[in-house]
Structure 1
Amino acid sequence: MKSTEAPLLVKTKQPEAAEEKEKIRWEKIKRVASMAVPMLAVNMSQFLLQVTSTMIVGHRSELALAGIALGSSFSNVTGFGVLFGLSGALETLCGQAFGAEQYHKLGSYTFTSMVYIMMIAFPISIFWMFMNKILILLHQDPQVAELASIYCLWLIPALFAYSILEPLVRYFQSQKLIFPMVLSSLAALAFHVPLCWLLVHTFDFGVKGAAVSTGISYWLNAVFLWVYMKRSRACLKTRIYLSKDVFLHTRIFFKFAVPSAMMCCLEWLAFEVITLLSGLLPNSKLETSVISICLTTSSLHFNLVNGIGDAASTNVANELGAGNPRGARASASAAIIIAAVESVVVSSALFLSRNVWPFAYTNVEEVTRYVTEITPILCISILMDSFLTVLAGIVRGTGWQKIGAYVNIASYYIIGIPIGLLLCFHLHFNVKGLWAGLVSGSTLQTLLLFLVIGFTNWKKEANKARERMLDEKVSRHDSLVN
């Protein structure tokens, strides 16, 4: 007689497996969301330091708005973006080290990044001292270039504060210690807004006052996190100390830091190129103001959705470091689902308020009307950027910064910018054409990263992460013996 028990058992395994898979997926969605929401507050608070400065100075005049917008954009690409990108190496190193329970490495990796990022900030600050001449060589309006260069010059102290702040943010992020970052960033923002208004309007310092206020706020944020790290028992195993390991970690840090910076800066540079090209149009002040408002809004959204990207990066890196490929894949999928919901909500809200939101930046009727017209293209850009930011977070958590850099080059510099030039100067769509070119680039980049992550062998990546931590441990032991 044939037994019927085996087929019955086979049939019941599939529903149970599907149910377990769905349970894991929802668990990861909750975990990613629970980290993404407070990280959203951290990123938004830090970014709003510069956005509120733009808004406060922008209400003085159209010239002041164009000047600080250009200065802020240029400083982000040539300074803050570089430092932000370099610190992205810690999302791979610290995240995977924490998952592998190599807690001492978080402190040594973070100290290594602080030392090298601070060193890199010096030549950047010297470069900023010649900003005025550089912008004029790039055919920018002399008055706008002058204001932008003054803003960057007075922003140099903020650059060095950022060299300490960003590694600390990655340090806390890798351990999912979000509350101290939320507290410090919100406190810095609450301090910055009245101080900036006081310096800009009451004392009439203009763009200088905005830059000084930003620098003070960044330093307060960095000092608070440093004190918390030194005093809190939660950081006892991972505490940062002055260490000679900075030389031992040099190679592995730059292995991820350089492509991470390229991955970030190449994208930001594409937006800067578009801003500079807008200055070549007949009505350059209007065009620059419009595209600067769009760029600021897009950057604001980037920092909104970047909380999801940070959560994705941390969870994926922790799971890979712990040797759990299934958890890493589930975390990546959960982050993408959350990004899809966020993109629809934000782009729809922006489109419905297209006649209102431009007044947050300026009261000039011609500028607000132009921004309203370009809003539909901006909504598509935001839709793509939501997915792109989260996919980039997954790439950083996995350690694929080099792939991300190559994808950026292909998307923006081979496709996006040429299309923007064609639409702007040959088909005379002006700023609309430039921004449409960026949208085409971000769309291609999103599709390519989807393909890369979709074909990922997560088991192989988990093994590579574990081997990386083991190799570092062996290298450190050998150096101590020698």
Structure 2
Amino acid sequence: MDTNPKQPLISPVKDEDTEEQYSIQRSISSFTADENDIPPITGVKVFFEQFWIESKKLWYLAAPAIFTTLCQYSLGAITQTLAGHIGTLELAAVSIENSVIAGFSLGVMLGMGSALETLCGQAFGAGQIDMLGVYMQRSWIILSATAFLLMFFYIFATPLLLLIGQKPDIAQAAGQMAIWMIPQLYAYALNFPTAKFLQSQSKMMAMAWISAIMLVLHTLFSWLLMLKLRWGLVGAAVVLNTSWWLIVLAQLVYIFMGSCGRAWSGFSLKAFQNLWSFVRLSLESAVMICLEAWYFMSLVLFAGYLKNAEVSVDALSVCTNIVGWTSMAAFGFNAAVSVRVSNELGAAHPRTAKFSVVAVVASSFAIGLIIAIFLLIFRKQYPSLFADSAAVKNLVYELTPLLAFCIVVNAIQPALSGVAIGAGWQALVAYVNIACYYIFGLPLGLVLGYKVNWGVQGIWSGMTMGTILQTLVLFYLVYRTNWNKEASVATQRIKKWGGEDDKENDVEQ
């Protein structure tokens, strides 16, 4: 990458009005990087020196973030795995509920909560620590209201699944499971803003410890209630709801005990100021994340229309389960690079922010490649961990080469999405996702799956091509970005999102 960035062909910044855009553009010419920014990369030696320094900073954030994300993802994945040892209908029901119902809601809530990654990260980098708690409270209000609206999606899950053509027995079981999982929805509403609040301050270890303890308890009680006491799907719902709420409560206790210093000074009426503008930013973030989450959710959904639907859904759910687990490394880097980019842009360090992108892409690719090779080596053994059905295990075996390739691609893509969140490009990336995923990838997958009769392999292959295209476009956008401009925009954004009524309390830059 150049050290003298060119003016981007496409600007990742979407400003709300002409006056604000003019103000930002005018400030770029006078913008200079802080003296603490990294020096220009002038040779191989300097590159590797800075790469080592930046990699240590990334791993300091990424390692606990990877562990936290892996533990939290494993809550649902373990429930799904144990359901596979109860029966194929139960596995299909949990898979549909996890991937379609909860997956839809998780995409919305995680996306709206991701607005805090931009705002809290850049405010923390600029030293405006007092605003972090206000941002979190605003997000709690917005996400709790969103959870209430999404609750009707859970209540009417069975007729909705029947409407889109799911098998009646699968739709009935998944719909019943969805109603039992409503408490998890409200846990999402508090968890994601709280997690982004802690993440922006690099307080990853606290979340890692909480998630680790809950994973151990969740695994123990899931086995006890689902298999030993034979509570089945009822036991799955009870343990999964309880686990998520205990994570939320533990994080809140950690914050309220004063561990975050000035970032949490108590509940404030400022949380109700500038709410509508905050809603719009949250919706931009939600659209970006949802378009990605729903894309992969639709993979399991369309498999339900194939012949021998239970086997197709079960095999694909095993693969997506593995993709989810192995993607935790990439999502950990997503969180780490989001913090690094937002903090450094807020602190007026554009070269450091840019170099963080290089380090995170290289690290994510290496990890994805190692995991893919491991799966190919043990492709005959690992399907038995997830299912007892010979038909399901054979189909998983056939899908493994595609699974390995998908893992490598998915290792890079979330890292680049983290850059977009850290820089505040959510609106632009939403358009990219629409084009690459829904105009190109999904139709191609349906053609290969149904018209060409490739089945599950065809649907997944076409959708993987969409992911590849999206990754290439993000690479291009990052390459063409003017990072000095992004640092200037970050300064403007910090001033704007303090709220009209509390500008006089803002720290002057």
Establish whether TM, by shorter chain, passes 0.5: yes
SS in 2 for 1:237: helix
1:347: Cα distance to partner? 1.1
Q: Is the 8 A contact 1:138 1:276 kept in 2?
A: no
Equivalent residues in 2 for 1:250-329 (5 A)?
250-329=275-354
Equivalent position of 2:7 in the other structure: none
Q: 1:253: how far off? A: 2.5
Deviation at 1:473, TM superposition (A): 4.3
- Asked if structure 1 preserves the Cα contact closer than 8 Å seen for 2:274 and 2:499, the reply is no
Aligned residue identity for 1:466: T
Paired with 1:52 and 1:237, the residues of 2 have a C-alpha distance of 38
Q: Deviations over 1:356-396 (max 9, x none)?
A: 11112101111101111011111111111111010000100
Cα drift, residue 205 of structure 1: 2.1
Q: Which moved more, 1:264-273 or 1:371-380?
A: 264-273
Contact 1:310–1:393 (Cα < 8 Å) also in 2: yes
Distance verdict in 2 for CA 1:28–1:429, change over 3 Å: same
1:412 alignment counterpart:
437
**Could you tell me which residue of structure 2 aligns to residue 156 of structure 1?**
182
The equivalent of 1:172 in structure 2 is 198
Q: Give the counterpart letter for 1:310 in structure 2.
A: A
Q: Which residue type is aligned with residue 357 of structure 2?
A: A
Report the count of equivalent residues: 468
Query: Is the counterpart of residue 468 in structure 1 residue 493 in structure 2?
Result: yes
Measured in 2, the distance between the counterparts of 1:136 and 1:247 equals 40
1:34 aligns with 2:60: yes
> Is 2:423 the counterpart of 1:389?
no
Alignment deviations for residues 106-125 of structure 1 (CA, whole Å, 9 cap, x no partner): 10001110111011001111
2:217 pairs with 1:203: no
Aligned residues of 1:395 and 1:404 also touching (Cα < 8 A): yes
TM-score, normalising length: structure 2: 0.89
Bigger drift between 462-471 and 100-109 goes to 462-471
Alignment of 1:449 with 2:449, yes or no, is no
Letter in 2 for 1:333: V
Distance 1:187 1:240, change over 3 A: farther
8 Å CA contact retained: 1:391, 1:446: yes
User: Which sections of structure 2, spanning at least 5 residues, go unmatched?
Assistant: 1-38
The residue that corresponds to 1:186 in the other structure is 212
Match for residue 357 of structure 2 among 332, 335, 347: 332
Pick closer, same or farther for the CA change 1:98–1:345 going to 2, 3 Å. same
**Mean alpha-carbon deviation: is it higher for 218-227 or for 200-209?**
200-209
RMSD: 1.9
| Kept after mapping to 1: 8 A contact 2:329/2:364 | no
- Alpha-carbon shift at residue 16 of structure 1 (Å): 7.1
Q: Which runs of 4+ in 1 moved over 6 A?
A: 13-17
Residues 94 and 223 of structure 1, relative CA distance in 2, 3 Å threshold: same
Instruction: From 90, 98, 106, give the equivalent of 1:64.
Output: 90
Query: 1:243 aligned to 2:260?
Result: no
**Higher mean displacement: 17-26 or 102-111:** 17-26
Letter in 1 for 2:372: S
State the distance in 2 between where 1:15 and 1:195 align. 53
Distance 1:282 1:18 in 2: 55
Tell me if the contact between 1:150 and 1:207 (Cα under 8 Å) persists in the aligned partners: no
Residue pair 2:337, 2:418 contacting (<8 A) in 1 also: yes
Name the CA shift for 1:249/1:186 in 2 (closer, same or farther; >3 Å): farther
Cα shift readout 1:238-261 (whole Å, capped 9, x = no counterpart): 016322222324244234311211
Unaligned runs of 5+ in 1: 1-12
Q: CA deviation at 1:78?
A: 2.2
Distance in 2 of aligned mates of 1:61 and 1:79: 26
Query: What is the alpha-carbon distance in structure 1 between the residues aligned to residue 163 and residue 269 of structure 2?
Result: 44
Q: % of aligned pairs identical? A: 32
For the Cα contact (< 8 Å) 1:109–1:249, is it kept in 2? no
